[in-house]
Structure 1
Amino acid sequence: MAFPIHRARRLRMSPTIRHMVRETALTPHDFILPLFVVGGSDAGTKKPIKSMPGCYHVSPDVAAQMAQEAHSVGIPGIILFGLPVRKDPYGSRAWADDGAVQRAAREIKAAQPEICVICDTCLCEYTDHGHCGVLKDCTVDNDATLELLAKTAVSQARAGADMVAPSDMMDGRVAAIRRALDENGFINKPIMSYAAKYASSFYGPFREAAECAPSFGDRRGYQMDPGNAREAIREVALDIEEGADIVIVKPALPYLDIIKITRDTFSVPVAGYQVSGEYAQIKGAAAIGLVDEISNMMESLTSIKRAGADMIITYFAIDAAKVLAHQMMNNGYCGKPAELG
């Protein structure tokens, strides 16, 4: 039967009905908030990141305060990135007990023990050359890097991290980290693996924020080529076989098809990372009046969940959670909460 018997618009005629029949609904529990923690910083440090409006370089105590705010609006987890006081060819501050991430993990768990603290496990923020592992003849030495990543993961677990998230894209790193965690008594620490991480142009603002742009060359030798989908499935399968408990597709919006394929192929939880370039584009377009920031933010996040993501790593986490709370109080109305200005 067709028109006029069936009129699809009948279920679109009011905000309440639209909300009732909505197939994909976001909640604050979908979000993970990234934080950039600066080593050696004075207490109370909260310095704006120019390329990412609304994001900050923070000291461990401020990271704890932001984790408390995230928890208060229903966000279950945060992921930590560290900016060390000094860098070297091996990235040794990545596994230092007094490193920025380790200190922040301890402070956050003391202040808000219920929130899930995830630590990004990589060396790029810590090496003086900006690559994700140690070098041999100007090339990242995959196998030599595995031991250092494992040391970093163990140090993060000792500091109180609930989960580690290797983002380096070295072959075999999930197995090396799983083995090291188990040998050190952390058999119940999950691994959230950046399983399908593409060599993307959308990482630019993050590299400024984390001060980790490569000093030479690029990361195409270990991150995935943007044209490949079947390779993503192989990468995800390998990481799951090695012990990954959750897999990440990064970036999210340009790779919604990869999130969809991953969700349809595997049974483990899937995360989509809405990266710095995706965030900055919405912020930048909104700043000059080309788009409505709130609508763009919520539509983009909804698309990531609709594609199959069980969780979304996003710099919009707190703002989006506040919008959702406002919508709940106003029968799905998509206006701007007063606290967002």
Structure 2
Amino acid sequence: MSLPDLIVRPRRLRSNATIRRMVRETTLSVNDFIYPIFVDETIDAPRQVASMPGVSRIPLSMVGELVKEVASLGIPGVILFGIPAVKDEIGSGGWDSEGIVQKAIRAAKAASPETCVIADSCFCEYTSHGHCGVLHGEDVDNDETLLNLQKEAVSYAEAGVDIVAPSGMMDGMIAAIRLGLDEAGFENVPIMSYAVKFASGYFGPFRDAADSTPTFGDRASYQMDPGNRREALKEAWLDVEEGADMLMVKPGLAYMDIIREVKDATNLPMAVYNVSGEYAMVKAAAEKGWIDEKRVVLETMLSFKRAGADLILSYHALDVARWLNEDKR
């Protein structure tokens, strides 16, 4: 049997590692990553998060040390989540000038002034009921919560934060925070909006880490339905119009299509949150010996970039940075 006269041979450009590297369309860099940090006001030593191997809540006294480690690996930014000693119905600890995140911001900037310090802006860690704002009955009052988000964002800016990242999915949150920051003289503080945040089962381990599990119900009345694509684009465009400087899609792995569509539809930098459940599944499978952890993690991170992400928030970030740095040697 004869072969055709002309065979198109894409394999020519896969024939060795050097050629593959030269024609690679999408690449990873340590500059792509932001590392999440959980700071717990109630502890004086690290406390392992059982559902997230390798991740711990840390005391305030360790923030500077960890941020220096992050910086030494070349990772440009961290995002802070706080676990306060005292919670109340409205989450007032969120805007306390001596609150745990405010103290952590100051500690992080003192330890590594060049590190970009981002603060998650929400109330689920601060409220006694675990929901993301002020409750009226069992419903989160959107507009009362906006006023508190303004206070929280200004408090973070006063502490020296580089970027505010609202994650509560309240309607109008970007406009309210932008107004609050500008009126307080912080017009140069950017907003990274969790513009498209789905009501996801992948968030489970995070709620252990941040002590933020709702005491009743769920967050489906303010986080997005996983089945909605057009609504995701609507949410993203609303945040663009309200003054967001960056957009985020959360979770990442099950929403690659949304990352791509939002990226193509807008002209803002795009972040993706590689969330706790995604991390935990990889760790569990790796511990069983079922997957090659490094290979799977790097492939996943590359897929986020290919889908359109400019920035990746990931609990894998320290390992990824070490792997990338080793590969350069």
The two structures share one fold, judged by TM-score above 0.5:
yes
CA drift of 1:3 comes to: 7.7
Q: Is the 8 A contact 1:40 1:100 kept in 2?
A: no
3-state SS in 2 of match to 1:155: helix
Change over 3 Å in CA distance of 1:51–1:3 after alignment to 2? farther
Count of residue pairs the alignment pairs up: 326
Tell me the residue number matched to 1:335: none
Tell me which amino acid in the other structure corresponds to 2:38: F
CA drift of 1:28 comes to: 0.2
Tell me the residue number matched to 1:39: 41
> Structure 1 residue 225 and structure 2 residue 252: aligned?
no
Tell me which amino acid in the other structure corresponds to 2:283: K
CA drift of 1:6 comes to: 2.9
CA drift of 1:5 comes to: 4.4
Tell me the residue number matched to 1:266: 266
Distance in 2, matches of 1:308 and 1:40, equals: 39
3-state SS in 2 of match to 1:223: coil
CA drift of 1:61 comes to: 2.9
CA drift of 1:13 comes to: 2.1
- Say which of 5, 10, 18 aligns to 2:12: 10
Distance in 2, matches of 1:61 and 1:86, equals: 19
CA drift of 1:172 comes to: 0.7
1:118-157 alignment, distance < 5 Å: 118-157=118-157
Instruction: Write out per-residue CA displacement over residues 206-262 of structure 1, whole angstroms, 9 at most, x where no aligned residue.
Output: 001101011001000000000001000000000111111000000011000000001
Tell me the residue number matched to 1:64: 64
Normalised TM-score (structure 2): 0.97
3-state SS in 2 of match to 1:168: coil
Distance in 2, matches of 1:30 and 1:250, equals: 16
1:107-126 alignment, distance < 5 Å: 107-126=107-126
Tell me the residue number matched to 1:100: 100
CA drift of 1:320 comes to: 0.2
CA drift of 1:16 comes to: 1.7
CA drift of 1:81 comes to: 0.3
Query: RMSD across aligned C-alpha pairs, in angstroms?
Result: 1.1
Tell me the residue number matched to 1:279: 279
Instruction: Write out per-residue CA displacement over residues 113-134 of structure 1, whole angstroms, 9 at most, x where no aligned residue.
Output: 0000000000000000000001
Q: Is the 8 A contact 1:272 1:313 kept in 2?
A: yes
Tell me the residue number matched to 2:176: 176
Distance in 1, matches of 2:188 and 2:217, equals: 38
Structure 2 unaligned blocks of 5 or more: none
- Say which of 19, 22, 32 aligns to 1:20: 22
Tell me the residue number matched to 1:250: 250
3-state SS in 2 of match to 1:232: helix
3-state SS in 2 of match to 1:78: strand
CA drift of 1:14 comes to: 1.8
3-state SS in 2 of match to 1:289: coil
3-state SS in 2 of match to 1:81: strand
20-29 or 320-329, which deviates more: 320-329
Q: Is the 8 A contact 1:27 1:324 kept in 2?
A: yes
3-state SS in 1 of match to 2:118: strand
CA drift of 1:267 comes to: 0.3
CA drift of 1:4 comes to: 5.2
CA drift of 1:293 comes to: 0.7
Tell me which amino acid in the other structure corresponds to 2:41: G
Q: Is the 8 A contact 1:167 1:193 kept in 2?
A: yes
Structure 1 unaligned blocks of 5 or more: 330-341
Distance in 2, matches of 1:17 and 1:58, equals: 44
Tell me which amino acid in the other structure corresponds to 1:198: F
Distance in 2, matches of 1:56 and 1:34, equals: 11
3-state SS in 2 of match to 1:204: helix
Tell me the residue number matched to 1:302: 302
Distance in 1, matches of 2:104 and 2:5, equals: 60
Tell me the residue number matched to 1:160: 160
